[in-house]
Amino acid sequence: MNRRIALRHLALISGGLALIPSCDFSSDDILAAYENLKVTASQKQLLGDISNIIIPAGELKGALELEVPDFILVMVNDCMTSDNQALFSTGLAAFPEFVKTISGKKYDKLSTKEKEDLIQTGIELKSEDTPEGEKDKAISYFLNTTKRLTMQGYMASEYIQTEIIPYSLIPGPYNGATLISETQKPRIDG
């Protein structure tokens, strides 16, 4: 091999190795399914954690196990106006900074009780006519919408509608002589 070519390759490789530490290879691509929201995977994970704080797993499955974050994103993406979608996205993007200013830690490092208190604080935020007030409005809207859609998605899930509270489209037969016992599951008639 020619010595000049070898030195050129060596210079290119060492220059490339010098640039690697400054490169950020952690891609946080926008999820394609929610084209109106421009949500990243980390934001979807944050939304899942918030919905799991609202309805945690216990005796029954939690919101995260029933894929409620997907329901929330679909409802916001498909059913809300573009102004509300922008407000939701702004609140979702501003939430980590809000957490950092209120608690001084990242959201992942907080305990469950601290997360609950933080979400309640965010829900009760009052907005003012300042740029900071607009952020507070967006965070409050984001958290209130997330809470409402978490409960709606959870109660409308197949698991709840088939295993916990049996749903019948039409009322069952009427029998006036039947005693209601505590072991009988309630029926929700549509």
Supply the pLDDT for residue 190.
45
Supply the pLDDT for residue 21.
63
User: Is the pLDDT assigned to residue 170 strictly greater than 90?
Assistant: no
Supply the pLDDT for residue 117.
94
Question: Which DSSP symbol is given to 30?
Answer: B
| Alpha carbon separation from 1 to 16, 59, 109 (Å, rounded) | 22, 70, 55
pLDDT higher at 153 or 185? 153
**Total length of the chain:** 190
- Chain-wide mean pLDDT for the chain? 84
**Which pLDDT tens digit goes with each residue over 55-75?**
999 999 999 999 999 999 999
**What is the mean pLDDT of the segment spanning 135-155?**
94
Lowest mean pLDDT, pick from 24-28, 102-106, 151-155 = 24-28
Supply the pLDDT for residue 181.
66
Distance CA 143, CA 87 (A): 11
| Alpha carbon separation from 167 to 3, 161, 181 (Å, rounded) | 80, 6, 18
Supply the pLDDT for residue 49.
95
134 CA to centre of own chain: 21
Structure tokens at 103: 């608690």
**Which pLDDT tens digit goes with each residue over 79-132?**
999 999 999 999 999 999 999 999 999 999 999 999 999 999 999 988 777 778
pLDDT interval class at 180 (50, 70, 90): low
